[in-house]
Structure 1
Amino acid sequence: MRLKLVIIFMSFLFVQEVAASSAAIIWKKKGKKEEKVEVKKETPYEKFFKGKKCETVKGLIILHKMDNKIYFELPLSLLGKDMLIGSTVTEITNNGFANVGEKPHEPMHVMFTRTDSTINLRQVTCAYMSKDRNLQERIKTSMMPAIIENLAIKAYSPDSTAVVIDMTNFLLSDNEQLNPFSAYAPVTWSGAWIEKEFKRNNSQIAKIKAFDDNVSVQSSLTYSVSLRDKRSYYWYKEPFTAVMTRTFLLLPEEPMRPRLADPRINIFWQGYSEFSNEGNGMKPLYYANRWRLEPKDEAAYRRGELVEPKKPIVFYIDNAFPEMWKPYMKYAVEVWQKAFENIGFKNAIIAKDFPTNDPEFDPDNLKYSCIRYSPSSVANAMGPSWTDPRTGEIINASVYVYHNVIKLVQDWRFLHTAAVDSDVRKVVLDDEIIGDCIRYVVSHEVGHCLALMHNMSASAAIPVDSLRSPSFTQKYGTTYSIMDYARNNYVAQPGDKEKGVRLTPPGTWVV
């Protein structure tokens, strides 16, 4: 009797186990016969998204937006891969704090890792390096990427190749490396500083986009902002909102071969510390910032023929610029082709209008280099760039042109040359003259985007009497390098223009 009770009890447990399996079996009557129907149990992934209004886009990472939250469906294949997070201003309450299109801070070098049931977002540093294997492992443990956000795994994808994580807290926070307040904010140029208070309750996730090598999430961030100096407030707790586009860009699987920087050439660089088993201690190492130009036809390139690069440098011209400016801006970009031809490349740098029929194009995406317009009283322009921190490869570069730079260059042209040029003795200069002024400014800033620093010694090397020479000025303009703070020819005297003396800065081929 006892044995029978044990058998019955074990049979009961077996039935319970079967009922709890992923596919329960239900017997359903169909007429006089019974039919076996399998009912599939919901997975945690299906339960997580069930019954919720969700916007999903698919690319490098699948993005899910729902209930003012943003979830990343992160492929496990991306764990440990180098990425950049770039933050671009898409909309802003006051462009005295930053321009639309501006990236106020250096992109963050990050990677995702996993620890048990948690995904770690880590910030990476590449400051130390070595070619010696015995030192590489110690450097690795001495420069471990820091965790900046721990993210619980909410669910696995149906095929278990990806995990769902909640990125909302990271993307709706006042992260100093991703916020909208530029280090070059015009409102601070008088010595004032910004006080801010982040308003999480008034911030939200906006548009999401996904592509093969990157994804982007727009965060609408709201603050209470004050501007003050040592004595008083200019603004006090004013409401302020900025929409920031955050791009998660996968860095090249095969890093570009770096090039050592030459201190004799004014090239922007990245500094590292190299440790070696040989020599006398740590050695400073400097990689030149440069674009990754590779010839389409390497054999022809090695024969000394001009060839096109596999991937040219492309600058997109903001459609907000006045129409009159655009042709001169395109010329200011493409005139740099002359410099690239000297190293064997043709059509290496190209200017295009903002595409109107390309669904992938987004000027606020870290992937695209643009020349952006800022409706501002500031009389200035800037040309910063962002690089792969491992190699110095320029990933993105942008030129920001403030509207009132047009007043500055007109004033210069009038003050410097009106005594010898009757064509500029006007309140408003002719389009051709203004266009040449725009050409100079944009070409100079594009030079910065190509990693060229200022060359202030260029004009100092020119004898004054050379600035009255037609042959010299036609070749060099007013300085040997457009990367100088070149000005118009205020040395010229009445009658010099008619003799052929050039009155304006050089063309870009003079670097």
Structure 2
Amino acid sequence: MFRQIITTAIFFCISFAASAETISEFTSGMEKKEGFYNIYLDHDNGVVYLEVDRYDEDFIYKVSLPGALGSNDVALDRGQLGGTKLVYFGRVGQKVFMHQKNTRYIATSDNPRERMAATNAFAPSIVWGFKAVATGDNGASLINMTEMMLSDQHGSAAKIKRNNQGDFSLNESRSFVNFDKVKTFPMNTELESTVTFMGNNPGNFVRSVAANPNIITLKQRISFVELPDDNYQTRAFHPAMSFNATRVTDYGTAIDQPIEQRYISRHRLVKKDPTAARSEAVKPIVYYIDSGAPEAIRNALRDGVQWWNQAFEAAGFINGFRAEIMPEGMDPDDVRYNVVNWVHRSTRGWSYGASVKDPRTGEIIKGHVTLGSLRSRQDFMIANAVTGPYADGKSTDESIELVLARTRQLGAHEVGHTLGFAH
């Protein structure tokens, strides 16, 4: 009897393996895009598949909003970045899970049991679970990303509620994949969708900007980003440095050392000749200005951002930093490019200097600036109020020059945040 059970089980496993489709068979006729993670687009059924060929390998998971609400008070802006998460794919049977590591609590030690004690003491998270719909010869799994893409990964509904603007929930029947914005690059994979939220008690801020205040449609992007190599050297934080810091609680530190370890946030900038007082950089830091800004504005932004090269020159880097207008054909979604975005809102709002960082070390992978366009109009009105240009037929040239001067300052200021500097 026991032998019969074993024989039946073996036959079942062989039959299952024989009937399971390979990735090439399953994706026949689909559009394939190769990059950091290979993706397959099933245009007929509105589905996106991702090929997981690396398990237990850490990468960055981040969510952003390419298409926004437009209200400064609700703070769902175009280009807004969510938090950075360190994740990896793991497979159990026919399921693939996306695990989020808890990077706030660690133990730096040569003793694996000491490291494991810290890892097991603080809860990780399972971000999502997928069924492997096909497998590859190399052990790869093909997973359907569509359900995750059509969920509220940015927490937009919760943000609307926190700002007392109504109770909204995602409506999947009015949400879909943006196939033309599903892309994969050598260092990152971008999965964009249109997500629609339904509500029946919208607040005044929502009413002032949404086409239909009961129906809010946003664009959401999921980003998978490759981690940098291990050649980056962390630099300890000190309050006198005026840098932002990445903080971790390290239970592996000596008893006479602080348990909280802080590292400054900075780009990786290395001299070609490390022995020279002044040297060119191996890879300069380059920021690209949104070509969607008016010509005078984007030129002012470029000039203001370029001021940072003076600081890097003083630090010994020859042409270690530069600012350029974003050229045609460049994709600002590509994580290899630092960008300065020109963003419209219904009212004047804050500008921000954000970044994609390695949560383990604080290394800045991509600088991401958001500049509110209405600041320029506000500056223009302030200048007019001071100079009174309309009396006796005076021109507004002085007011315009003030706007451009303030734009140069604003560009330099916000890029400074993305370089790691605090106020």
- What is the TM-score with the length of structure 2 in the denominator? 0.82
Residue in 1 that maps onto 2:326? 354
Residue in 2 that maps onto 1:6? none
Residue in 2 that maps onto 1:148? 127
1:244 counterpart = 2:220? yes
1:107 counterpart = 2:107? no
Residue in 2 that maps onto 1:118? 95
Question: How many residues in Structure 1 have an aligned counterpart in Structure 2?
Answer: 393
Q: Pick closer, same or farther for the CA change 1:166–1:310 going to 2, 3 Å.
A: same
Task: Give 1:442 deviation, angstroms.
Answer: 1.4
Distance 1:428 1:303 in 2: 46
SS at match of 1:407: helix
Q: Pick closer, same or farther for the CA change 1:227–1:389 going to 2, 3 Å.
A: same
Residue in 2 that maps onto 1:12? none
Task: Give 1:181 deviation, angstroms.
Answer: 6.7
Corresponding residue to 1:221 among 195, 206, 215 = 195
Distance 1:136 1:368 in 2: 35
Task: Give 1:291 deviation, angstroms.
Answer: 0.8
Residue in 1 that maps onto 2:339? 370
1:437 counterpart = 2:406? yes
Distance 1:392 1:405 in 2: 31
Corresponding residue to 1:394 among 325, 347, 364 = 364
Distance 1:276 1:42 in 2: 46
Q: Pick closer, same or farther for the CA change 1:49–1:447 going to 2, 3 Å.
A: closer
Distance 2:253 2:65 in 1: 46
1:343 counterpart = 2:291? no
Residue in 2 that maps onto 1:408? 378
Distance 1:349 1:181 in 2: 39
Residue in 1 that maps onto 2:150? 172
Letter in 1 for 2:407: I
Q: Pick closer, same or farther for the CA change 1:453–1:44 going to 2, 3 Å.
A: closer
Can you list the C-alpha shifts for 1:72-118, whole angstroms capped at 9, x where unaligned?
1111xx22222112223223454555332222x21332111222332
Corresponding residue to 2:175 among 192, 203, 222 = 203
| Higher RCO, Cα 8 Å, sep 6+ | 2
Q: Does structure 2 conserve the Cα–Cα contact (< 8 Å) formed by 1:98 and 1:180?
A: yes
Q: Pick closer, same or farther for the CA change 1:308–1:196 going to 2, 3 Å.
A: farther
Letter in 2 for 1:147: I
1:312 counterpart = 2:291? no
Corresponding residue to 1:302 among 272, 275, 278 = 275
Structure 1: segments with no counterpart, 5+ residues? 1-16, 22-39, 455-511
Task: Give 1:249 deviation, angstroms.
Answer: 0.8
Letter in 1 for 2:129: N
Q: Does structure 2 conserve the Cα–Cα contact (< 8 Å) formed by 1:89 and 1:364?
A: no
Can you list the C-alpha shifts for 1:431-486, whole angstroms capped at 9, x where unaligned?
433221211121111111111111xxxxxxxxxxxxxxxxxxxxxxxxxxxxxxxx
Letter in 2 for 1:339: A
Distance 2:224 2:121 in 1: 26
Can you list the C-alpha shifts for 1:480-500, whole angstroms capped at 9, x where unaligned?
xxxxxxxxxxxxxxxxxxxxx
Q: Does structure 1 conserve the Cα–Cα contact (< 8 Å) formed by 2:247 and 2:261?
A: yes
1:451 counterpart = 2:420? yes
SS at match of 1:432: helix
**Percentage identity across paired residues of the two chains:** 22
Distance 2:118 2:145 in 1: 30
Distance 1:174 1:168 in 2: 12
Letter in 2 for 1:204: F
Query: RMSD value over aligned CA atoms?
Result: 3.3
Task: Give 1:142 deviation, angstroms.
Answer: 2.8
Q: Does structure 2 conserve the Cα–Cα contact (< 8 Å) formed by 1:383 and 1:400?
A: yes
Q: Does structure 1 conserve the Cα–Cα contact (< 8 Å) formed by 2:69 and 2:218?
A: yes
Distance 1:323 1:59 in 2: 34
Distance 1:161 1:42 in 2: 13
Q: Does structure 1 conserve the Cα–Cα contact (< 8 Å) formed by 2:55 and 2:88?
A: yes
Q: Does structure 1 conserve the Cα–Cα contact (< 8 Å) formed by 2:97 and 2:126?
A: yes
Task: Give 1:197 deviation, angstroms.
Answer: 1.2
Distance 2:146 2:341 in 1: 29
SS at match of 1:87: strand
Q: Pick closer, same or farther for the CA change 1:165–1:42 going to 2, 3 Å.
A: closer
Letter in 1 for 2:173: N
SS at match of 1:332: helix
Residue in 1 that maps onto 2:66? 90
Distance 2:264 2:373 in 1: 32
Distance 2:320 2:35 in 1: 29
Q: Does structure 1 conserve the Cα–Cα contact (< 8 Å) formed by 2:280 and 2:317?
A: yes
Corresponding residue to 1:334 among 285, 300, 306 = 306
